[in-house]
Amino acid sequence: MKRGTKRTKDDYRFTGLTVVVAIFGCLLFLPPLMTAFDRGDQVFNVPVVWAYLFGAWALLIALMALLVRRSG
Amino acid sequence: MVLQTWFVITASVAYLGVLFAVAFYGDRRADAGRSLISGGTIYALSLAVYATSWTYYGSVGRAATTGVGFLPIYLGPTIMLALGWLVLRRIIRISRRNRITSLADFVSARYGKSASLGALVAVVAAIGVVPYIALQLKAVSNTFEIIRRHPEITPTSQLGQVPLLQDTALYVTLLLAGFTIVFGTRHLDATERHEGMVSAIAFESIVKLIAFVAAGVFVTFGLYNGFSDLFAQAAQANLTTLFSLGDDTGEWVWLTVLSMCAIMFLPRQWQIAVVENVDEHHVKRAMWLTPLYMFLISIFVLPIAAAGMLRLGGAVDADTYVLGVPMAAGQEALTLLVFIGGLSAATGMIIVETVALSTMISNSLVVPLILKRWSYRRRLAGLILGVRRVSIVIVMLLGYGYFRLAGEGTALVAMGLISFAAVAQFAPTIIGGLFWKGATRNGALAGLSAGFAVWIYTLLLPNFTSSGWLPKSFITEGPFGIAALRPEQLFGVTGMDNISHGMFWSMLVNVGGFVVVSLLGSPRGREEAQAVMFVDALADPEGPRLWRGRVAVDDLREVLRRSIGRTATDQAFETYARDRGIEVPETGDADPDLVHHAETLLAGSVGTASARIMVASVAGEEQLRVEEVMEMLDEASQVAALEERHRLARELHDSVSQALFSMTLHTRAVELAVQKEGGSPEGPVARGLKELRSLTQGALAEMRASLFQLRPDALHEDGLAEAIRKQSAAIAARENLQITVDAPMYRLVLDDRAEEELFRVVQEAVHNSVKHASPRRIEIRLDECPEGLVVEVIDDGNGFDPLAARPGGMGLNGMRERMARIGGELIINSSTTGSTTVRAVLPGQQIGEPR
């Protein structure tokens, strides 16, 4: 059916992009990617895995904030 | 001085007083129509009720043994909230439309308004969550005791059992019961929103964040020189557990899954995220702001754990490091702030959880029972409120009782994750029900009860052994010595921690039972209708009509009055009439829309299953069964019907329309041939042919109009001007009058809604004119002027006096409303002596962007 107004299309795209971010989050937060950083080492004196997880988390939040902002 | 017992008590009571004040202010503002919670920020903050005293104190405890192993509890929600627009918005939309006010009600409504399913969900939630409430009370009681015994820092295991009347947790319980009754059951209302409570919860979220971050900043930058200094010292002391996440990545994955479920399906989260949501766009704010909150509250967890291990070591329970480290450093004011933060985390959780549970217990357990036993013909409003209040007190006292009975062991601490596992059992039923139309009530019942049973066996019962309620041999040797049935190594599955093990088995039988039983059976009538409505919630702009039976308006009014009160009922009827621009008759049968509206109103206060029973009792059982079949056909075959109509339209266009068109051409050819052969143009043959031609032309026009109506999307496919042309041609042919359409040949740029409303206005105006003015000629003009789009319908029939016209007569009001809805206006110019002009003006800025 040809009901696609601009608004529903935007909404559809926004939903799709947020799902992509969620999948990206799973990728970052779950093994095997996450375990690669779990070496018990330190970088700049802080634990690598701690720095990695919080860095990835901040990135995810920023991405989501950006998407929400763009969608208005 | 600051940590004197009397001062701590005063500060705590003062804090709770502030909470009352915030809630009171929030309710006052809501009553005055200036809601505090109309912005998304409050919504996002109140969602942080997720962070309870269990995470406030317990995260540090977990970090001390597993390093960043505490993080999945916060990472899962981040992922789930990222899916918020896909999942949460859908749930909110459905709940709003059906006035669903609890999780149990949602499940019950999805699976054909099944009362038994709703009751099962309420039982699972209550059993899963009451120990969690106990855990919060334990945190309050323990931390208070630790402060009371300062400056010595007592390990929790040595605190012992405080005598009942000296136990702070008892007084906190009583105060909170009071708070929850006042702000959680202030009135019975169709939406079940509690703005005061939400404001207070958002306030609590801020307090606990400030307290925890203050402690973190003090530890990291006051006691040490920032993160690197602190971690360097920890590395020197060889505290290696802090630098990894333990050796079990399986546990990490399961915890992430668990917390993804928990952020949605814990009763308190559902209450805040779905029931208390006032605008679904607030979800967008929560999608990033709530994760940011969790980020901030957890960034200092590892540093505090490191500092605690460096300074206090194993002498103090790691669960109380947050309190212990500032206390050991002599920071009395900060210690008090941390205690208040913990108190706010505990109270926030208890308040919302209890409100959510009491709604479930009253709407899904007690009221259906009452309705089954006794007829509904007595006043329900007071009764329901009474049931809610009593269940609030019972839930709180059960939580307190559990805390006293479970003792001071590790049993309660483990209950946090076990609760998460209990509510995770809802995930297959709810998520499956949202996206899969084939999911059935029996499937949901089978999956949920099997998952719940396995949860009890593998997680709850083993927990009882650490409270001493079951012998230890139950875990080590299995029941009756059967090793295969050892609850934490079921059928010999080993190598997993107890949560992963319990989740593995419970999810296996839950998802398995749900899918297999659903596939083996098929949804019955009502279930199917509900399934279509839930799964297609976003596509379908209007709720389906659920009632076709004859229901007297009087009866309906009476049912409503009994359950939501007289004034609320009258108000509801008034708004209903006003919104639709109609009069609700005092007597006679109610139209299906009104019955449906009444049912949703009832559902708001008594739950969907009970509302169904009540309306059914006035609608008459006999008619219902026939209607059920009708409905099933109606809802499930709607799409099929649409496709069928399209096919029909296409075929008619290709066959009959074409034939009619050739007929007009041939008739014209024969006419010319007759003239050529010298036939008289006034002779009977020529006149007959002329008549025949005008008839076929009329038939063709009529056919085109019918085709137009067969295709519901025709208006948007053809555009406004073309649609009006086709429609007018049909009317002109049918009514034997002349209609000219003066419109631009290009397609006007309008959004769907404006197109629809303008088309209806023109249709209505032409219809009026034909019916009342008996015109010979109607002129329709579409024009883009500087003032906007102008549509005029002018006839040469008998006019009328617009001032004297019956108000609401001739659908004039309807047309006016249509224009007002799209921001335009309608001007009617007519007099009793001459023609009538209906002029609709849609100002320029209303014209949408090009497509």
Our CA angle for B198, B199, B205, nearest 5°, is 90
Is some CB atom of chain A closer than 8 A to the CB atom of B83?
A: yes
Tell me if A19 and B229 make a contact (CB, 8 A cut-off): no
Residues of B in contact with A53 (CB under 8 A): 68, 71, 75
Quote the pLDDT of residue B412: 66
Q: Which of A46, A48, A68 sits opposite B227 (nearest CB)?
A: A46
Q: Which of A2, A19, A57 sits opposite B86 (nearest CB)?
A: A19
Tell me if B78 and A47 make a contact (CB, 8 A cut-off): no
Is some CB atom of chain A closer than 8 A to the CB atom of B536?
A: no
CA distance linking residue B422 with residue B455, whole number of Å = 7
Calculate mean pLDDT across residues B171-195: 75
pLDDT tens figures, B318-339: 888 888 888 888 888 898 999 9
Tell me if A47 and B83 make a contact (CB, 8 A cut-off): no
Residue of A nearest to B86 (CA): A15
Q: How many CB atoms lie within 10 A of CB B433?
A: 26
Residue of B nearest to A21 (CA): B82
pLDDT tens figures, B659-673: 888 888 888 888 888
Q: Which of B78, B85, B242 sits opposite A14 (nearest CB)?
A: B85
List the one residue out of B78, B84, B262, B205 whose CA is nearest residue A61: B78
CA distance linking residue B650 with residue B711, whole number of Å = 9
Residues 752-771 of B with CB under 8 A from A: 752
Is some CB atom of chain A closer than 8 A to the CB atom of B639?
A: no
Amino acid at B430: I
Is some CB atom of chain A closer than 8 A to the CB atom of B237?
A: no
CA distance linking residue A43 with residue B405, whole number of Å = 47
B149 by DSSP, 3-state: which? Answer: coil
Quote the pLDDT of residue A3: 44
List CB contacts of B30: < 8 A, sequence separation 6 or more. Answer: B36, B37, B195, B196
> Which of the pair, B85 or B747, is modelled with greater confidence?
B85
Tell me if A35 and B249 make a contact (CB, 8 A cut-off): yes
> Which of the pair, B107 or B586, is modelled with greater confidence?
B107
Quote the pLDDT of residue B207: 93
- A→B contacts (Cβ < 8 Å), by residue, are 1-3, 5-6, 14-15, 18-19, 21-22, 25-26, 29-31, 34-35, 38-42, 44-50, 53-54, 57-58, 60-61, 64-65, 68, 71
ipTM computed for the complex: 0.93
Q: Which of A25, A44, A61 sits opposite B288 (nearest CB)?
A: A61
Tell me if A65 and B288 make a contact (CB, 8 A cut-off): yes
Quote the pLDDT of residue B809: 55
- Is residue B298 within 8 A of residue B71, CB to CB? The reply is yes
Distance from CA of A13 to the nearest CA of B (A): 11
Tell me if A18 and B752 make a contact (CB, 8 A cut-off): no
- Is residue B294 within 8 A of residue B72, CB to CB? The reply is no
Give me B509's structure tokens. Answer: 């039988």
Residues of A in contact with B79 (CB under 8 A): 22, 25-26, 29
Residue of B nearest to A18 (CA): B82
Calculate mean pLDDT across residues B491-507: 85
CA distance linking residue A57 with residue B291, whole number of Å = 9
Q: How confident is the model at residue B845 (pLDDT cuts 50, 70, 90)?
A: very low
The domain made up of B727-851 has a fold known as Heat Shock Protein 90 (3.30.565)
Is some CB atom of chain A closer than 8 A to the CB atom of B643?
A: no
Residue B713 scores a pLDDT above 80: no
Q: Which of A2, A26, A38 sits opposite B245 (nearest CB)?
A: A38
Q: Which of B240, B292, B716 sits opposite A40 (nearest CB)?
A: B240
Domain covering B5-408 assigned CATH 1.20.1730.10 in the classification: yes
Q: Which of A31, A39, A50 sits opposite B68 (nearest CB)?
A: A50
CA distance linking residue B806 with residue B827, whole number of Å = 16
pLDDT tens figures, B366-405: 888 877 766 555 566 677 788 888 888 999 889 888 888 8
pLDDT tens figures, B647-656: 777 778 778 8
CA distance linking residue B802 with residue B724, whole number of Å = 25
> Which of the pair, B477 or B364, is modelled with greater confidence?
B364
Amino acid at B572: A
Distance from CA of B715 to the nearest CA of A (A): 11
Calculate mean pLDDT across residues B587-599: 76
CA distance linking residue B69 with residue B48, whole number of Å = 20
Residue B848 scores a pLDDT above 50: no
List CB contacts of A68: < 8 A, sequence separation 6 or more. Answer: B284, B285, B287, B288
Distance from CA of A56 to the nearest CA of B (A): 10
Tell me if A34 and B252 make a contact (CB, 8 A cut-off): yes
Q: How confident is the model at residue B341 (pLDDT cuts 50, 70, 90)?
A: very high
- Which residue, among A68, A69, A70, A71, would best test binding to B if mutated, counting the most B CBs under 10 Å from its CB? A68
List CB contacts of B374: < 8 A, sequence separation 6 or more. Answer: none
Distance from CA of B838 to the nearest CA of A (A): 29
- Which residue, among B230, B288, B500, B716, would best test binding to A if mutated, counting the most A CBs under 10 Å from its CB? B288
Residues of A in contact with B537 (CB under 8 A): none
Locate the domains of chain B by residue range: 5-408, 425-536, 541-625, 637-712, 727-851
- Of all residues in chain B, the percent with pLDDT exceeding 90 is 15
Residue of A nearest to B302 (CA): A50
Distance from CA of B630 to the nearest CA of A (A): 26
Residues B397-427, buried b or exposed e (16+ Cβ, 10 A)? ebbbebbbebbbeebbbbbbbbbbbbbbbbb
- Is residue B620 within 8 A of residue B550, CB to CB? The reply is yes
**Residue B589 phi, psi dihedral angles, 5° rounding:** -85, 145
- Which residue, among B41, B43, B60, B71, would best test binding to A if mutated, counting the most A CBs under 10 Å from its CB? B71
Tell me if A64 and B75 make a contact (CB, 8 A cut-off): no
Quote the pLDDT of residue B23: 86
DSSP alpha helices (H): ranges in B149-281?
A: 168-184, 195-217, 226-236, 249-265, 267-270
% helix, strand, coil for chain B, step of 5: 75, 5, 25
Residues of B in contact with A35 (CB under 8 A): 249
CA distance linking residue B789 with residue B748, whole number of Å = 9
pLDDT tens figures, B753-762: 788 888 888 8
Q: Which of A25, A39, A49 sits opposite B82 (nearest CB)?
A: A25
Tell me if A29 and B256 make a contact (CB, 8 A cut-off): yes
Tell me if B249 and A3 make a contact (CB, 8 A cut-off): no
Locate the domains of chain A by residue range: 6-71
Residue B624 scores a pLDDT above 60: no
Quote the pLDDT of residue B123: 93
Tell me if B67 and A50 make a contact (CB, 8 A cut-off): yes
- Is residue B118 within 8 A of residue B106, CB to CB? The reply is no
Calculate mean pLDDT across residues A47-54: 86
Residues of B in contact with A2 (CB under 8 A): 713, 716-717
Quote the pLDDT of residue B313: 78
CA distance linking residue B131 with residue B54, whole number of Å = 12
List CB contacts of B655: < 8 A, sequence separation 6 or more. Answer: none
Question: Cα B57 from chain centroid?
Answer: 31
Residues of B in contact with A60 (CB under 8 A): 78, 82, 291
Residues 726-755 of B with CB under 8 A from A: 751-752
Residue B620 scores a pLDDT above 70: no
Residue B304 scores a pLDDT above 80: yes
Residue of B nearest to A27 (CA): B79
Tell me if B72 and A26 make a contact (CB, 8 A cut-off): no
Residue B17 scores a pLDDT above 60: yes
